[in-house]
Structure formats: structure tokens, C-alpha cells
Amino acid sequence: MADTAPSLLIVGARLVNEGQVTEADVLVTGGRIAAIGGDLSSRRADLVIEAQGKYLLPGLIDDQVHFREPGLTHKADLASESRAAVAGGVTSFMDMPNVNPATLTAELLEERCALAAAASVANYAFYLGAANDNLDRIRRLRPGAACGVKVFMGSSTGNMLVDQPDVLAGIFRDAPGLVAVHCEDDPTIRANERIWRARHGDDVPMDQHPVIRSREACLKSSQLAVELAGEHGTRLHVLHLSTAQELDLFSPGPVDGKRITAEVCVHHLWFSDADYGRLGGLIKCNPAIKSADDRTALRAALRDGRLDVIATDHAPHTRQEKASPYFGCPSGLPLVQFLLPALYALCAEGVLTLPELVEKACHNPARVFGVAERGFVREGWWADLVLLDPQRPLTARDDLVLSKCGWTPLAGVTFPATVDTTIVSGQVAWRDGRIGPACRGQRLAFTPARA
């Protein structure tokens, strides 16, 4: 249990927190941060971690993952994927409802929390899924039971498209709390699919995915979401933006006070359509990875605040499933295990600074969702922490992958830093390449969302 976890003293780290990088020691007792100070070396602790030369960050909060349990556990499960998460510096995750059965009721949501309580080494929350026929259940959702309501305004893995205008309006008007949306206009995609199927049969070249799942489809749907939110005063969070054109829908600046926030995923910041030739179906995902110009625009929007949060949309499928021709190849890719190393590589490239990384991957997810007492390194708050070693490069390989699918689209990439240690609610979840087997995550608690 977290509150009986052994005490920890982290000595000599470079703490990256709340916009600053400072030399600091951190003492953890009872799962929480007991003290942050310039020199706490005289304090006693069960475990002392010498962290000279390493960065200490709040644990990352990934607001979009697909850990596939229940029902799709041949691809992934809560134990395997939460292990991959802590190896990637992620201490809390928010899991999507497109499992089997889909998470369309409060009862199913509680069942998933019970599964996670038994199996997850990271902290967890689940979205309630929206469907064309569960508006009443959405209205009755207890505040704090879910991290939000997830609406597939474009179809993807699972059969969860919400396309009835009156239902969409009802969700945007009545959902208690945050509404998170996947935006791709389905009729546009279906029309494109018909054209490409007529040309190529089932074997459409993978690099046509962003032409079929087009920028027009993304923009049309994101525009509708933003319009509906304006009309109904919805607390809207638009997931995985992928095009330059959509970015003008969002306001720059800090997240506080925004009613409409936006997320970008690491694969849209990392890959471009030039990578389909090399990686093919492995990087097929929805929304599709688009051009290098889109990637440049997404990176810029991250810095000016039009994009508030970075996540993974970790969506594992088996290697065999991914080897299928276009129409049989499921969309989604596993990313959570390399999230922090990949983001640090973007820092090394000058795409963002380390304090900005912490803002977008730790502080802002906590602010956007109103996560209680996590996402920041603060005395009295839960000790969700990551030590990153910038002197130890890491080369991603399939045989290092802890996700059940056993592959990574980043195989062969050398990152300039390694996740040395991950602490979840004061427990060692990951250290020196090994999982802390006794570690258990906690259910995330939510205050009324601040943003």
C-alpha cells in the first residue's frame, strides 16, 4: 500500500517543476512528498537515491491510452501496459472506453477500476464512453467517477461512433464535466474509402491513409465540436490534433480559464508521411499522421499554447494484425514505454524546453482534468516522480518492449536519455530497468476541473 511504502530520499537532483529547474533534495514518506529542500541529506529514509546529474520531474499523466482490458487482452492488458507506462515515466493514465464490452455504463466503469486496482502499477482513471443510446447514463454520471466522457465523432477501433445530431447536442449540453472528442468526419472518410477501394481493392498503399482520413475530415469534425461547445458551454477537450488547419480553432496561452483545450500526441509530433514507406501499417493510426508541415505547425502550437497537453494515444495491436493489408490493418500504435525519452529527444532538438515538457505532460493534464494532488512536485502531494538520466542514451528495441504486443514503431531510435526511476505514490515502480513488482497504482481523484 502506498501509505505504508518505505520512505525515500532523493538527493542532488535537478528538479524540473512549475517552470523552473533547481537543485533539490526530495523526501518522501507515507507515499507523499514530505519535504523539498536545498539539502535534506541529514534526513533519514529507508532508501536513499543519489540523483546527481539526473532530472527529477513530476510523473507524466497520459490522458489518452488504450490498455484494452476487458475483452481485447490478446493485444494488451492493464498489468502489461501499466508496466510499459512506468518504464516510460508515466505515473498516471486515463484509459479509453473502446474495450469489450465498451465502457458505456457507470457499472462497467467501476468494474474496470476494480481490474486496475488489482493489476496496475500506475495510477488510473477511465472515461465513460458515449454512444448514440446512452445519454441518460451520461447525464447521471457521478462527478469524479470518470476522468471525462469520450465521444468518437469519427469511427475508429471499436464501434463507438456518435453521429446523431440530437445526441451530440445532448452530450455537449448535459455531460457533467469534461467531454473529450475524437474528431474525424465519418461521411468524408467513407466516401474517400469507396474511391480508394475501387482503385486498389483491399490493398491500398499505406501512405494513402492520410489522404483517406483526410485533413478535411479532421477539420470539419473539429469545427463542429468547437461550435457545439460554444453553443452549449461545454468543457471540451479535443484529442490528438493532427493538422495545421485545425490549430486556429484554439486559443494560445496558459490553460487556466480555457473552456476548450487541445491535445497532441507524440506520434504526430515525431513522424510524418515520409515514414509510411519505412513503417507502413505500423504507423497507421486515427487520425492519420500527416505531412512534415503539419508536424511543424503542431510543434509551434505546442509552444504558443494552442495545444495544451501531450499524450500518447497508446493503442497496441498485435504484429500479426498490423501486417494485414490496408482495410484489415487496425489503426493505432504502442508508444507509452518511450514517452519521456521521446519527449526529451524533442527537447534536445529544440522543439520544446524541459519546463515546457513538464507543463504539457504533467502540469496541464492535471489542470485540465482537475486531478487532485498529482502532476506537480509539491509538499503534501502524492509522490509521483520520475528521474531521467541525460547521461545514459537509450536505443528502443522490440525485445525491450513491456507492452504485450512486443513491438515498437520506434525500434532503432536512440534517445539521449533513459528513465532511471519512476515512483508511483511513493512506491518504486521502475528502477534500473526493472519493475517494482509490489507497486500498485491508485484511482485518480478529481477536484472540479479548474480549466
Which residues make up the interface to ligand DOR (CB under 6 A)?
Answer: 66, 98, 156-157, 182, 285-286, 315, 330-332
Q: Which residues pair with 349 in a beta bridge?
A: none
Q: Give burial (CB, 10 Å; 0-12/13-18/19+) of 38.
A: exposed
What's the closest the beta carbon of residue 42 comes to ligand DOR, in angstroms?
50
> Measured between alpha carbons, how far is residue 45 from residues 5, 298, 385 in Å?
11, 44, 17
- The C-alpha cell at 371 is 486531478
DSSP 363: I
Q: Indicate the pairing of strand 418-424 with strand 385-389.
A: antiparallel
Q: Identify whether the C-beta of residue 267 lies closer than 8 Å to the C-beta of residue 289.
A: yes
What's the closest the beta carbon of residue 129 comes to ligand DOR, in angstroms?
12
Amino acid 311 reads A
Whole-number Å distance between alpha carbons of 53 and 305: 30
What's the closest the beta carbon of residue 226 comes to ligand DOR, in angstroms?
19
What's the closest the beta carbon of residue 133 comes to ligand DOR, in angstroms?
20
Query: Among residues 156 and 408, whose Cβ is nearest to ligand DOR?
Result: 156
What's the closest the beta carbon of residue 98 comes to ligand DOR, in angstroms?
5
Whole-number Å distance between alpha carbons of 368 and 348: 27
Cross-sheet strand order for the sheet of 60-65:
60-65, 90-95, 123-126
Query: Among residues 98 and 120, whose Cβ is nearest to ligand DOR?
Result: 98
Query: Among residues 67 and 369, whose Cβ is nearest to ligand DOR?
Result: 67
Q: Which residues pair with 95 in a beta bridge?
A: 65, 126
* Sign for the pseudo-dihedral over CA of 271, 93, 263, 105: positive
Query: Among residues 330 and 375, whose Cβ is nearest to ligand DOR?
Result: 330
Q: Identify whether the C-beta of residue 25 lies closer than 8 Å to the C-beta of residue 39.
A: yes
Q: Residue with CB nearest ligand DOR? A: 332
Q: Which residues pair with 180 in a beta bridge?
A: 150, 237
What's the closest the beta carbon of residue 40 comes to ligand DOR, in angstroms?
44
How many CA atoms lie less than 13 Å away from 197 in the CB half-sphere? 9
- Positions of E strands within 173-273: 178-182, 235-238, 260-265
- The C-alpha cell at 264 is 497532441
What's the closest the beta carbon of residue 100 comes to ligand DOR, in angstroms?
11
Query: Among residues 82 and 157, whose Cβ is nearest to ligand DOR?
Result: 157
What's the closest the beta carbon of residue 265 comes to ligand DOR, in angstroms?
9
Whole-number Å distance between alpha carbons of 208 and 396: 27
Whole-number Å distance between alpha carbons of 374 and 358: 13
Query: Among residues 328 and 433, whose Cβ is nearest to ligand DOR?
Result: 328
Whole-number Å distance between alpha carbons of 250 and 246: 8
Query: Among residues 281 and 305, whose Cβ is nearest to ligand DOR?
Result: 281
> Element (H or E) spanning 429, and its range?
strand 427-431
Catalytic residue from among 63, 294, 313, 384: 313
Q: Mark whether 256 is an active-site residue.
A: no
Query: Among residues 80 and 157, whose Cβ is nearest to ligand DOR?
Result: 157
Q: Which residues are catalytic?
A: 313
